[in-house]
Structure 1
Amino acid sequence: MIYKDIAGLIQKALEADLIESADVNYARNQLMHLLGLESFPEEGVGTTDESIPDLLEKLTGYAVKHGIITDASDDKEILSANLMNCFVARPSVINAVFNQKYHESPSAATEYFYRLSQNSHYIQTKQIEKNISYKVDTAYGEMDITINLSKPEKDPEQIKREREAKQTRSYPKCLLCKENEGYTGRIGYPARANHRIIHIPLLDENWYFQYSPYVYYREHSILFSEKHRRMNIDKQAFHRLLTFTEMFPHYFIGSNADLPIVGGSILSHDHYQAGCYEFAMTRAEDAFSFQLHRHPQIEASVLKWPMSVIRLKGTTINNLVEAADDIFQTWKNYSDQLADVIAFTDDTPHNTITPIARNRNGIFEIDLVLRNNRTSAEHPFGIFHPHEDVHHIKKENIGLIEVMGLAILPPRLKTELAAIKEFLLGRPSRIEAHHLEWAEHLNSEYRELSSQEHAESVLQKELGNKFVKALEDAGVLKERKAFMRFIEAVNQQIN
């Protein structure tokens, strides 16, 4: 059976254009070595039509059964990546093909690399299918809701191994360093043997482009600096983002904020996130427009959005960069007691921006989401962070993806919401204590629901409302008057 699975994996690699027929013997021999085989039947093996992820599971299962690796998740991931690396071309070849495709069109280049990243099993397609995802109508448009089930839970043995392992190694320095390309992996550090990155020169610096292994939206990608340096929002960042949209006009690109609480999970390495997806925020209407006195050629508006967003539009990147930087420089030092916004505590800064750039048919735009990470006794997790009344659903940071209208919710909600659904249907269920008040409120509002479908619809709608509330909590200027005071400060600053 092992021979049939090997033959099946080779056939799938051929169908996915990972290898050509001239590569078959080489690939087979490499697979045999990894699986401890010294010979292969010359005929009568047959093949199978199973998917690449399913075949990899069977091959790693064989390796566990025959003592080639342990049953620990790290060992299986390392072997799986090494098996696929037998089919993936070297970085120089992939970069050459990408650049050739780019001359056809930017979208042809990204489509090639996205398909490669899926077929090479770097993007975990089977795991991603486990996510629970749907759309929900809200006062701000159609939001995306995802309960994240794609990242596998660590088993007790894996946790024990990581605890016992001495994590003294500093290579690669982090998960976003270019040295991850082709890295085998180790206990507590993911396998990257089948990982490839694309070199993107950007404003006289070397940057690199890859896809996320656990994509949250179509072509979810990461652009990261060659240098291992901290995240930093500044004028140059705005310039990079807009220049990237000139190079890849079918992609948006944005950055997490660069301060704790309002920033992303990795602040130690300068990077952005991009993709070919239209979020609810992209479709958001203007709440009102205003003028930037120093930049009359720029269209400026405040969006109708739960967070505090200024959108700038223009035909010239340099003009947009200057306008965005004027707003950013004002915001960094801006305090408004009426809005509970304070820029500094002693020398500690609180104000920053989450920027997102797009190119719509030659009209460049950049959204500047105003952020503040101050805490208080009443809100120890953050004044402009999801408040305690939504923590039973979402208490993690509001990062770039969620700012744009895609909720990434914890896996615990799958079972917890199922219990609430049973409760709403009048059936016995065990509801977690942190959901009890919400469940009772829903029950009193909707009474006993008559069908699974109705209960599911209610929960989806109300989960969307909770997400919107979390975003509203993260908004810093909650009234038009507060926005007008800030806009006045911007115009005074730049006159």
Structure 2
Amino acid sequence: MGIEETVEGLVAYARERGLIEAEDALWTRNTVLDAVGADGAGFARAVAPAPVDAIDGALSDLCAFARASGALAQDESDDAFACRVMGLLMPRPSEVARRFERLRAADPSAATEWFYALSGDAHFVRRAAIARDEKWLAPTRWGDLEITINLSKPEKDPRAIARAGRARRSGYPACALCLENVGYGGRGPQSPQGAHPARQNLRSVPIDAGDETWALQYSPYAYFNEHCIAVAPVHRPMHIDAVTFRRLLALTEALPHYFFGSNADLPIVGGSILSHDHFQGGRHTFPMERAPHGEGVTLAGYPHVEASTVTWPLSVLRLRATDPEELVVAADDVLRVWRGYSDSEVGIVAESEGVPHNTITPIARRVGGAFELDLVLRCNVTSPEAPWGVFHPTEDLHHIKRENIGLIEVMGLAILPGRLKRELAAVERALVGGTDLAADPLCAPHAIWAEGLRGRYGSFEEATVREVVQREVGQVFAQVLECAGVFKWDDSGRAAWERFLAHLA
């Protein structure tokens, strides 16, 4: 098959998916030919489009041709080239924004469905990569937790995340979330500014966040349905305050079928990008949302705000009200009390030498005609015995999870590193074969845990070993979440929880 058939197939794909109009077809053909270094000589004869069933394959073929023709810059990766080609097939940002708003005015759900499909058709949301991720449900004492092994997301050291959050702004764009990423061509690691991914196929749309207009886009490696990111218009650090709560609720007014939440604003308990204020959201019901309410909580001065605890491994207050501003003020009061709260009996320290340790991971959603805020209490204090964090997963759990426990995992969806695909498969083989776990480099990090499985289960059958291992990984993730809870579910933790709640009454 010649390059012309591939190009024509890609143009036909773009027309079929609504990325371009019929009038754009010839222009698109020629711009793609130029990008790959082809002169289009084959179009002197009749050319039928090659079917584009898998966009990844077509882009790979175009990239191979472009590399052979010398059309690729020496430091341009295959992925950057794919973004460049797909950027040629997309409507301008203004066109995307106008259509999204037109659809949203009539039906917010239809608007996000269209925009999410567009982002996938444009190869920005990496459908093929997402489909390769492993996913399962694991029954635990906290209900069914969602477990994923993400094959695209690199595993990050929490200390590196903290350093990145403190880093000064540098380069253009300043970070991977800045609005300036839309259409940006990227740069390689040899650039004086450092490496930055190509984003020619990224589109975002304006979204009302109350006092500001933010940008809404989708996550390239979506962890759940319509996984979106709402991005502040300027590069500024993450922060949690009344303004944060107000913006979260405003976004649920604009898109009432979505939840929106924020990572905490401190290292260890925060997300992977602390340098740029942003939220995550989407169309998904997480295990924490399904968790039953616990005891009712009295919030002094807020008779119209319904409050309760949540039966969940982390310490969660659930607030609900029909008046969003009253809900914001009540949540801000909870935050104010928590920021200054210490309890030496359970290791909670509000601040050390002026450095704050307490914050909140907030999640907003609409429930019927009411607004709901989940406030997850977080504390990032460390100690000589717990240098990774007193409320961070303990080192015996790091073979499965050592990264920060951010917003998505707080709600019960584990995002586990891609290395586990090979490592757990090796553990399964060793369990079935009865071989030495510590002798296999893939099994060795899991040897103590897996030997414990041998002690509990005895022998393993090839037909059922994966089910057992996946169930036990779910139990580890449940322990990870329990580690992140500031008030444990034991007698001491329950008593400490009641002491804190008394400060709100």
**TM bracket, shorter-chain basis:** over 0.9
Determine the structure 2 residue equivalent to 1:24. Answer: 25
Say which of 460, 467, 487 aligns to 1:449. Answer: 460
User: Deviations 1:411-464 (Å, cap 9, x if unpaired)?
Assistant: 111111011101221254625332111111101111111233x10110011000
- Contact kept, 8 Å, 1:122 with 1:194, in 2: the verdict is yes
Q: Is 2:445 the counterpart of 1:459?
A: no
> Which residue identity is paired with 1:480?
R
TM-score, reference length from structure 1: 0.93
Contact 1:199 1:208 in 2 (8 A): yes
- The structure 2 residue matched to 1:357, chosen from 354, 364, 381, is 364
- The 5 A counterparts of 1:115-134 are 115-134=117-136
The letter for the 2-side match of 1:269 is H
1:181 corresponds to: 182
Q: Secondary structure at the match of 2:77?
A: helix
Distance 1:422 1:51 in 2: 33
For residues 314-329 of structure 1, what are the structure 2 equivalents within 5 Å? 314-329=321-336
**1:262 counterpart letter in structure 2:** V
Report the Cα offset of residue 137 of structure 1. Answer: 1.4
8 Å contact from structure 1 (residues 130, 150) kept in 2: no
| CA contact 2:262–2:280 (8 Å) conserved in 1 | yes
Q: How does 1:226-375 map to 2 (within 5 A)?
A: 226-375=233-382
Answering whether residue 392 of structure 2 is matched by residue 381 of structure 1, we say no
Deviation at 1:29, TM superposition (A): 0.5
- Where do 1:387-426 residues align within 5 Å? 387-426=394-433
Q: What is the SS of the residue equivalent to 1:341?
A: coil
Of stretches 442-451 and 36-45 in structure 1, the one that deviates more from structure 2 is 36-45
Q: CA deviation at 1:206?
A: 2.4
Match of 1:63 among 59, 63, 66: 66
State the match for 1:170 in structure 2. Answer: 171
> For the Cα contact (< 8 Å) 1:129–1:150, is it kept in 2?
no
Show the counterpart of 2:162: none
**Which of these residues, 472, 476, 482, is aligned with residue 496 of structure 2?**
482
Q: Which 5+ residue runs of structure 2 have no aligned equivalent?
A: 156-168, 189-194
Change (3 A) 1:355 1:208: same
Q: Which residue identity lines up with residue 237 of structure 2 in the other structure?
A: R
Give yes or no for the alignment of 1:472 onto 2:495: no
Alpha-carbon contact 1:424-1:447 (below 8 Å) kept: no
Q: Secondary structure at the match of 2:11?
A: helix
Matches of 2:354 and 2:256 in 1, distance apart? 39
User: Residue 425 of structure 1 aligns to a residue in which SS?
Assistant: helix
Structure 1 residue 127 displacement after superposition? 1.4
2:213 counterpart (202, 206, 212): 206
The one-letter amino acid of 2:60's match is E
> Taking structure 2 as the reference length, what is the TM-score of the superposition?
0.91
1:159 maps to what in 2? Answer: none
SS of 2:215 mapped into structure 1:
strand
Q: CA deviation at 1:71?
A: 8.0
Seq. identity, %: 45
Give the alignment partner of residue 86 of structure 2, picking from 81, 84, 87: 84
Tell me if structure 1 keeps the 8 A contact 2:153–2:417: no
Please tell me the residue identity of whatever aligns with 2:479.
Answer: K
Gaps of 5+ in 1: 154-167
- The CA RMSD measured in Å over matched residues stands at 1.7
Q: What's the offset of the Cα at 1:233? A: 0.1
Q: Identify the residue that residue 142 of structure 2 maps to in structure 1.
A: 140
Deviation at 1:483, TM superposition (A): 1.4
Runs of at least 4 residues off by over 6 Å: none
CA distance in 2, matches of 1:350, 1:397: 15
Structure 2 residue aligned with 1:51: 54
Deviation at 1:68, TM superposition (A): 2.4
Q: Secondary structure at the match of 1:129?
A: helix
Q: Distance in 1 between matches of 2:211 and 2:305?
A: 26
Amino acid at match of 1:257: A
Q: Quote the Cα distance in structure 1 between the aligned partners of 2:122 and 2:253.
A: 29
Could you list the per-position Cα deviations for residues 18-38 of structure 1 after superposition, in whole angstroms to 9, with x for gaps in the alignment? 112211101000001101122
- Secondary structure of 2:18's aligned partner: coil
CA distance in 2, matches of 1:418, 1:333: 46
Distance in 2 between the 1:404 and 1:186 partners?
35
Q: 2:192 maps to what in 1?
A: none
Amino acid in structure 1 at the alignment position of 2:56: P
Provide Cα deviations, 1:345-384, integer angstroms capped at 9, x if missing partner: 1101000000000001212110000000001111110000
Contact kept in structure 1, 2:208 and 2:251, CA below 8 Å: no
Q: 1:78 offset after TM fit, Å?
A: 2.1
Determine the C-alpha separation between the residues in 2 that align with 1:321 and 1:272: 17
Structure 1 residue 339, shift from structure 2 partner: 1.6
The 1:370–1:121 alpha-carbon spacing in structure 2 relative to 1, beyond 3 Å, is: same
1:15-58 Cα distance to aligned partner (Å, 9 max, x none): 11111221110100000110112234143322222322221111
Deviations 1:111-167 (A, max 9, x none): 1111110111111111111211111111111111111102489xxxxxxxxxxxxxx
Bigger mean CA deviation after superposition, 461-470 or 11-20: 11-20
- Single out whichever of 40-49 and 394-403 deviates more from structure 2: 40-49
Which structure 2 residues correspond to residues 5-24 of structure 1 after superposition, within 5 A? 5-24=6-25
The question of whether the paired residues in 2 share the 8 Å contact of 1:12 and 1:51 is answered with no
**3-state SS, counterpart of residue 147 of structure 2:** strand
